[in-house]
Chains A and B, each alone.
Chain A
């Protein structure tokens, strides 16, 4: 394609960015020419988000440099990036609910005279932008909260265009859109590139990339494993690039014979409007079942609904054949369910409290006589549970926030171990856990299953699901598209299923 021959508008070279315990980007190169659509591909955690945040000035790279129009630049703040003409449309839309469309579009650069906002000018300019985007029907004076998800996407794009923009970064812009809205999105992208605007486009949908992309860069484990491939590269090759791994995970052995006992957990026709539909699954003691799917496929929502933290619109959950009261966490906990939530710090831990308090929080009644806590018994029981999982440091009074990610996760597991739970729901159990500690966590999870626990595992890392689970349910857009024993699946197959929806093998 022609654009690639032009001198690049943007060149990022050797971009490196570390967070405590993780190297998110490791010497990534990316160049984008004017009028080009450059697609970024990679699995969850490959580093795409970090890379575009560096480009938006939201993260400062540890090493590497960025050239813009041939000049070396440093993007110290988001507004520095905006001044150069780089606009970013995030996947999590960063719009203000309480403001009008026009106010959102001009947020931070309101047309004004002596500090007074010129509302009419803002509305006129917004109307022109919306018309250019093919959505003249959106009234600039309307409040954002009255708009649909797709309309908000348009507003977000209008905001990007309200600046004098030379490069637009779009992070999964089609995720919230219907097919005909996606067609409109593509028309907008084509208009922009015809004007010489460059686009960095992130999507999981390979067919989209083939339709609008010029070149593709594939990220894996923080490195660019392929740069500037033509967008016509076959799916199979792209998937192979995304999945080839340097880091072999060590997974514990599976039991020779799958358990044949009666299921402890049954999920029948579970549905939550707009999130997932008609989920059936059975879980036996000693078994690990994995849910694989992309972000937004309904994985976490399913776990939380089984656990009673969300109320299903249809279907039911049975424990030992008895239906569970829907939408009640205490009922689920009494029946023997335990959840290790996705956002460990926000949903799982009492960060100001000690390890003991965090472990005993679901079992307080056992250590109380008439409400009176027997703190010695509490500490001893919590310590016994954390020792079973070799949680370190072995100090029950240590504040839980001083622990590493892996040990924090063990504290959450110890909570349910102490409770004597029978079904463990694990949502991204190794998120924020470094590679070395993962193998240990995998061994712990398998041992708990061997001891008779039933485990339902959600992970956005496909190898983790395939390596740890006995059986795997593959999800796409809230539906189960495939169920198979883990040993009959491989990473390519699963990625094909979640991205294309049908087996291409």
Chain B
């Protein structure tokens, strides 16, 4: 409690535009960045970059991290963080490709990947929502344990997938109108994520919990249950991503998903999701993923080393956050 002073009067802020409009502007600027990148790619490597097969490759590569980023966007919007996504992808991908699992064929692999992801998310969620652990710590612990368990299962060996039904999804014959099935899954997850965040009670509660947890609690929202579900959702996305990775690589490895947590967080942040919670955009996150994947592709085509890529990524993150701060300040004035 504080002394009652009249000092707490609300500031009048008349010149305020709907937040949605400003988010769209930010998405437009990301689209602009993407357009610049495509131009650069087209100019430096015209034959290779714009080839259909290369565009298919870029989108396929974006699919795995993209699905993870959709889940991460929800968690960050709620004011949390999930550092364990890469490790969960690794664990799900190796658990789903053990010899025992492969006995059950396509369904066995898919089911196992999803269940392992959901299970890890459930553990995260229970620890955070009901155990009172800080998300950073709980998911850091999950990162360490899930990676360890993945190594234990594989003993460091690559687990080759022998189930044809799974491998067939990755070959050009399976493309629908030229679009790889993995990209279709990514598109479906993106659409579902957008609807979930913007059109459902679940999404509204996620934003409320991230924007003002105390107000959400006093408004009667079950904040703990919501938090639990959010980490389960992130785990589910990791499970789906793990399956995509299995299709893409034709194998499961304990080193899969390395540093996905950082890529996913970075993509969500440059997309316009607030790290402090309360505002999230699925479209922005997906654009963020596409920007990063396209950079990687252009650098690879131009035979630039990954160290240069990393520096460029870092610069983009800084630039994007500075732009966000500016637009947030403009909004506040």
A residues contacting B by CB (< 8 A) are 19-24, 44-45, 47-50, 91-92, 171, 222, 295-296, 300, 307, 309, 329-330, 332-334, 339, 341-342, 345-354, 357, 360-362, 364-365, 367-368, 371-373, 375, 397-399, 401-405, 408, 415, 428, 431-432, 434, 460-461
Contacts and interface: CB of A to CB of B under 8 A. Distances in A.
B201 A44 contact: no
A185 B24 CA distance: 60
A373 B5 contact: no
B195 to A, nearest CB: 9
Nearest to B17: A399
Nearest to B1: A295
A22 to B, nearest CB: 4
A50 B7 contact: yes
B208 interface: yes
Given A350-B211, A365-B201, A368-B201, A20 B218 contact: no
B303 interface: no
A408 B1 contact: no
A24 B5 contact: yes
A330 B278 contact: no
A20 B11 contact: yes
Contacts, number: 148
A1 B2 CA distance: 34
B278 A352 contact: yes
A408 to B, nearest CB: 7
A402 B331 CA distance: 11
Given A295-B1, A352-B278, A432-B10, A373 B204 contact: yes
Given A361-B221, A431-B4, 16 more contacts: A19-B7, A24-B7, A295-B1, A332-B220, A347-B214, A352-B211, A354-B18, A362-B220, A364-B205, A368-B200, A371-B201, A372-B199, A397-B18, A399-B19, A405-B10, A434-B9
A48 B6 contact: no
B226 to A, nearest CB: 11
Contact of B199 (A373, A401, A408): A373
B18 A348 contact: no
Nearest to A172: B3
Contacts of B202: 371
A49 B219 contact: no
11 contacts: A22-B6, A47-B5, A48-B3, A295-B4, A347-B212, A362-B220, A368-B200, A371-B201, A373-B200, A408-B10, A432-B10
A404 B207 CA distance: 23
Most chain A CB atoms below 10 A, which of B6, B18, B201, B278:
B6
Contact of B12 (A20, A296, A372, A431): A20
A349 B10 contact: no
B123 to A, nearest CB: 24
B201 A45 contact: no
B224 to A, nearest CB: 10
B200 A329 contact: no
Contact of B7 (A22, A367, A373, A402): A22
A405 B8 CA distance: 9
Contact of B19 (A342, A352, A432): A352
A349 B212 contact: yes
A461 B3 CA distance: 12
Most chain B CB atoms below 10 A, which of A21, A309, A350, A357:
A350
A402 B9 contact: no
B279 interface: yes
B200 A428 contact: no
Contacts of A351: 211-212
B333 interface: no
A354 B2 CA distance: 28
